[in-house]
Amino acid sequence: MPSEPVAVGEYSETDLALRQVLQDVLGLSSDRTANFTAETGLFGYLPELDSMAVAGLLTEIEDRLDIVIEDDEVDGEMLETYGSLLGFVTAKRDGG
Amino acid sequence: MISAWPGPDGDEYAVVFDRSRERRILVLPALFDEANKLRHFTVETMRRLDEAGFDSMLPDLPGCNESLAPLEEQTLLMWRDAAGAAANHFAATHALAIRGGALCAPAELPTWRYAPATGASILRAMLRARVLASKEAGLEETREELLARGKESGLELAGYRLGAAMIRELDKAEPAGGAALANIAQAELGGAGLWLRAEPDYDPAQADALATRLVTDENP
């Protein structure tokens, strides 16, 4: 079933980059990540996200979005849903 | 297809596609967790090289994979020597270093480096995984404190028991060794690097692309 077409400009640059990282780390299709909403569950819902995978995910986010994530900023809440992760990364990029 | 070669601590295994052909490529695997993620891709790339008329050999580095040598006694320098010994044993004419494999490529061989990684970047991901796992277990650790401790007395990271010398080396190691033929960036293969995947995965198109890149290189 074809996914809904997504208008260019609907997502922020950070949002698009974050979807791409998740696509690459989780091996998902672009259709799957395009369907992520703020409520889509990540850590705790995706059994493949063990500590090594989360470490790889955060390191890749740092490299691609040019931010530094401190270990004490990482907790279950930040990683719980797509929306919480996007909110964290967006705040970081805005100088948080 | 499985062969043995004399490593510094006794015989080690290697996966080989050996028909005594002119071009013989020593394949240096990615390190630690990435080795598992890239094993399928690595062997499939070798299968394609075989079909294209190239021999290739993938040795177990001492302390890795089927090796009986203790990992915590290994150092990058020892792995470079071991890679040299494997190159001699198999009469390799070239090397293909994958990711962190570029940190222990033998000096004598012309080497392709696929997506070479610095030791520091490999160490950073492993330290972070340890901090996250400890946090889940209710234990507060920091990367800085772990690194300092690891350099003194070694550390278990992501299930790998690394000695102090290895951690000190990794912290500084840059892809080196070998007369670099070329650095092959992930972008040349299309798609994202398979070492990023949370679960080991495989992409035949990427193995095709890497093998084709080596086979069609103008100055091997």
Q: Provide CB contacts within 8 A for B212, sequence distance 6+.
A: B48
Chain A residues lying within 8 Å of B195, measured CB to CB: 56
pLDDT bucket at A26, cuts 50 / 70 / 90: confident
DSSP structural state of residue B189 = H
Separation CA A29–CA B142 (nearest Å): 35
Separation CA B17–CA A90 (nearest Å): 49
Tell me, yes or no, whether A64 lies in a domain.
yes
* Structural tokens at position B171: 């912290």
Tell me, yes or no, whether A2 lies in a domain.
no
Tell me, yes or no, whether A24 lies in a domain.
yes
Q: Where are the domains of chain B?
A: 2-117+175-212, 119-172
Q: Is B32:B126 a contact under the CB 8 Å cutoff?
A: yes
pTM of the predicted protein model: 0.90
Chain A nearest-CA distance from B13, in A, is: 27
Tell me, yes or no, whether A3 lies in a domain.
no
The CATH number assigned to the domain with range B2-117+175-212 reads 3.40.50.1820
Residue-by-residue pLDDT tens, chain B, 220 positions: 899 999 998 999 999 999 999 999 999 999 999 999 999 999 999 999 999 999 999 999 999 999 999 999 999 999 999 999 999 999 999 999 999 999 999 988 999 999 999 999 999 999 999 999 998 889 999 999 999 999 999 999 989 999 999 999 999 999 876 666 789 999 999 989 999 998 888 999 999 999 999 999 866 6
For residue A80, give its domain range. Answer: 13-93
The count of structural domains within chain A is 1
How much is the pLDDT for B220? 60
ipTM of the complex: 0.78
Chain A residues lying within 8 Å of B198, measured CB to CB: 25-27, 46, 48-50, 53, 56-57
Q: Is B103:B111 a contact under the CB 8 Å cutoff?
A: no
Inter-chain residue contact B125 with A55, CB threshold 8 Å: yes
